[in-house]
Structure 1
């Protein structure tokens, strides 16, 4: 039997953070358990001189999807790159990273997901990888097109660029088209509708509209989440295994205990953040 949805949520309002920078929080839970392993999802529109100058992270991963424009990034190792529309960056903060994310000359519209790491992986060495839109598998069917960045769909597969397993796909459906999204046992997933509206989940009669996200999970066996477009739809599907551990998050650090958060701040203040986990 196909999966039903657990809940539908709506993105928060758009806020002005400063000159040429607007932001809204799509996922910002107080209680992380119903969202695990997803911690946070933000949508940003920013252009020079706005941006995210060098800042720290520890204990989690970021998955950045560029919708429009150009993003320039670099980290404490000197590595750097540019992301164009449809490109994705998988960054593992692990034991500690110092990095910056700045807009190109024409600005950028991006989505950034924070993905948790289990305790055993929180202090791994930092790393990142850029995946170009052209490198994703293109899966097509009757009335739909899917760009597969990680996971499996329609006989195609792509490895996950994150340390923690993650499925990620960019979906476009014509009105009336249907698609079954696979979800592995023990995984949680959500469908973020960017444009249009669709019925999501077995037995659903209420459409999920643009700026809403529908959540589901596969408890004991592999299953599928049915999607039927009511109008032309663009949506992103994210899925990953649940991490059943305590979450203590403060600022840019996500650990399992308060003491670990204190240690992260101490390491940052003493210049040891990027070497403590080495």
Structure 2
């Protein structure tokens, strides 16, 4: 799931997750984060937070100082053997992510290998995440593993994608199904100033069962997650953010 959210006063108060990862990019404004292990931080535009829910987390994602913020949050499934991993938070600042430049384009690599550049995110499963800005007329060829399932989402502007120059506009998505191992180059040409996010991942090929804030392999896994959360096994829910 990819969720594009705008919120101006509060955000998402305390809530649990289990069995997957949330990858949150701040598009505009500032996002304040709290977790029930005592973690706290504020992310700026262009920053990315990677939360491995694993065996269970409780956290809150808030509009910092109740000012407007826009985010993109991708839910990344975990393989069965990784679903109960130790929870982990990674705050990846834009300045810490390597920058790859093309003609009229700037692409920050947060995860995986794109064009031979490695992102800083520590991964449980092979994925790539890149945040790109294009000038009008700019271009870039994303080289990613050919056996990945991938897509790009245009946050603003418009681009032409692939050898057929398929138009993809603001709020739309282009999908790239998995093929053969090796590198695949995906050409992107901007017809106006554009911001987009590019994601890809190696298919897991296991059953997935999602319910509310939990993503497990079957209904019984979700029922167990609900039972564990309600019995306090995710840890205490803090009474205040302040």
TM-score by length of 1: 0.79
8 Å CA contact 2:113–2:144 kept in 1: the answer is no
Q: Are 2:150 and 1:189 aligned? A: yes
Q: Which has the higher contact order (CA 8 A, sep 6+)?
A: 1
| 129-138 or 217-226: bigger deviation | 217-226
Which residue in 2 is equivalent to 1:128?
89
For 1:53, which of 4, 7, 13 is the aligned residue? 13
Q: Secondary structure at the match of 2:224?
A: helix
Q: Which residue of 1 aligns with 2:99?
A: 138
1:163 to 116, 120, 124: 124
Distance 2:107 2:146 in 1: 22
Name 1:84's counterpart in structure 2: 44
Structure 1 position 149, deviation (Å): 1.5
Question: Offset of 1:156 from its aligned partner?
Answer: 2.6
CA distance in 1, matches of 2:133, 2:87: 33
Structure 2 stretches of 5 or more lacking a match? Answer: 237-242
Q: Which runs of 5+ in 1 are unaligned?
A: 1-39
- State the distance in 1 between where 2:125 and 2:115 align: 23
Please say if residues 90 and 162 of structure 1, whose CA atoms lie closer than 8 Å, have aligned partners that are also in contact.
no
Deviations for 1:232-273, whole angstroms, at most 9, x for unmatched residues?
222111111111011111111110011111111111111113
Correspondence 1:180 to 2:145? no
Question: How many Å separate the matches in 2 of 1:118 and 1:136?
Answer: 26
Give the TM-score normalised by the residue count of structure 2: 0.91
Judge which range, 253-262 or 183-192, deviates more. 183-192
Do the aligned residues in 2 keep the contact of 1:188 with 1:217 (CA within 8 Å)? yes
Instruction: Identify which of 179, 187, 193 aligns with 1:219.
Output: 179
- Could you tell me which residue of structure 1 aligns to residue 72 of structure 2? 111
Counterparts in 2 of 1:1-278, with a 5 A limit? 40-48=1-9, 50-105=10-65, 106-204=67-165, 206-222=166-182, 223-274=184-235
Deviation of 1:214 after TM superposition, in Å, equals 0.2
Shift, 1:187, TM fit: 0.8
**Deviation of the 1:207 alpha carbon:** 0.6
**Once the 2 structures are TM-superposed, how far is the Cα of residue 173 of structure 1 from its aligned partner?**
2.1
**C-alpha distance in structure 2 between counterparts of 1:267 and 1:246, whole Å:** 21
